[in-house]
């Protein structure tokens, strides 16, 4: 009991204006330092909803790898069947991931705001408009299917540099769209069509910081999957499930908050601009 009281007293003494985060980078470091267990639990809960997506794509990618590895002549009819089947199923799996991501963003958003939040609040985020979240997140599934189709069936040598840049830019835009959808639903009570429209507008305006998000979060987590080794693949998926999802959710939330503060909150909701941050005067 004495240790608990000492710990609470110590935490209260640390909660001074001087010790509070002064920018989003400090919020990021503070959450990783003080609430990493909370982030780990959130990552595991979110991964439950993403597990079918990871499992399905790993299975199909293994089949595609066997089909194309060291093959003198690739059976493009079978390859087309694999990619299209994977793409169709992924639409439904993206919808399921969206429901879980909404729960993760719900608790992480309140965490970076400095509010009292518990891991169990994850399920409140899941229960808030699950069908709306599922449908909105299914749309990137269609786009990912189209992007993969282009990358697989249009050889790089036949694509101009401008066309390749367009495809990469579109991929980044998809990530920005997902970030805008998830955080909008966690912050505002917004309808389906308004959320859909606002997300694309915010994604375009936040394309530059979201690109930084990709470099910081997504690229390091995809490195293991370029080794074309089954064991390395499994280890990569385990690392992503244990911590990668929560880490990505934290960065995604902070970047989206920056865009929302700049484009929406500064005009309509000034009371939540820089919430959880004490700016230096």
Average pLDDT over residues 168-190: 77
253 or 5, greater pLDDT? 253
Q: What pTM does this model have?
A: 0.78
- Three-state secondary-structure class, residue 26: helix
pLDDT tens, position by position, 216-235:
666 665 665 566 566 666 77
Q: What sign does the dihedral 230-220-238-176 (CA atoms) show? A: negative
172 or 258, greater pLDDT? 258
Indicate the range of 47-61, 205-219, 267-281 predicted with least confidence: 205-219
Burial 83-116 (b: 16+ CB within 10 A, else e): beebbebbbebbbbbbbbbbbbbbbbbbbbbbee
213 or 49, greater pLDDT? 49
Long-range contacts of 260-263 (CB under 8 A, 24+ apart): 260/183, 260/184, 260/187, 260/202, 262/205, 263/202, 263/205, 263/206
User: What is the reported pLDDT for 89?
Assistant: 92
268 or 160, greater pLDDT? 268
DSSP string across 160-218? -HHHHHHHHHHHHHHHHHHHHHHHHHHH----HHHHHHHHHHHHHHTHHHHHHHIIIII
What percentage of the chain's residues is helix, strand, coil (to nearest 5)? 85, 0, 15
- Supply angle C-alpha 260, 30, 98, rounded to 5: 45
pLDDT of 163 strictly over 70: no
Q: Is residue 102 a contact partner of residue 125, using CB atoms and an 8 Å limit? A: yes
Q: How far is CA 167 from CA 49, 154, 172, 195, in A?
A: 28, 12, 9, 24
Residues 6+ apart with CB under 8 A from 167: 147, 150, 151, 159
The CA R_g of the chain, rounded to the nearest whole Å, is: 21
Q: How many CB atoms lie within 10 A of CB 158?
A: 7
pLDDT tens, position by position, 66-112:
877 766 776 777 878 888 888 889 999 989 998 998 899 999 999 99
């Amino acid at each position: 009991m004495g240790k608990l009281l000492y710990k609470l007293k110590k935490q209260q003494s640390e909660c001074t204006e001087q010790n509070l985060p002064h920018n989003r980078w400090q919020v990021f470091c503070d959450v990783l330092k003080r609430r990493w267990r909370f982030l780990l639990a959130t990552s595991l809960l979110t991964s439950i909803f993403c597990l079918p997506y990871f499992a399905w794509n790993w299975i199909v990618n293994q089949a595609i790898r066997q089909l194309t590895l060291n093959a003198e002549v690739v059976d493009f009819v079978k390859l087309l069947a694999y990619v299209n089947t994977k793409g169709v199923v992924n639409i439904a799996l993206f919808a399921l991931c969206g429901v879980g991501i909404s729960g993760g963003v719900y608790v992480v958003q309140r965490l970076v705001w400095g509010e009292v939040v518990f891991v169990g609040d994850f399920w409140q985020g899941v229960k808030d408009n699950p069908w709306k979240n599922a449908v909105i997140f299914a749309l990137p599934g269609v786009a990912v299917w189209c992007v993969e189709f282009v990358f697989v069936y249009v050889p790089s040598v036949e694509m101009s540099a401008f066309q390749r840049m367009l495809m990469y830019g579109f991929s980044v835009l998809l990530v920005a769209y997902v970030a805008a959808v998830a955080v909008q639903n966690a912050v505002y009570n917004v309808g389906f069509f308004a959320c859909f429209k606002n997300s694309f507008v915010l994604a375009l305006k936040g394309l530059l910081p979201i690109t930084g998000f990709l470099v910081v979060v997504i690229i390091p987590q995809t490195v293991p999957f370029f080794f074309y080794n089954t064991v390395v693949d499994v280890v990569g998926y385990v690392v992503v499930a244990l911590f990668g999802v929560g880490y990505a959710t934290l960065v995604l939330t902070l970047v989206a908050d920056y865009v929302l503060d700049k484009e929406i909150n500064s005009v309509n909701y000034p009371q939540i601009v820089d919430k959880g941050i004490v700016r230096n005067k």
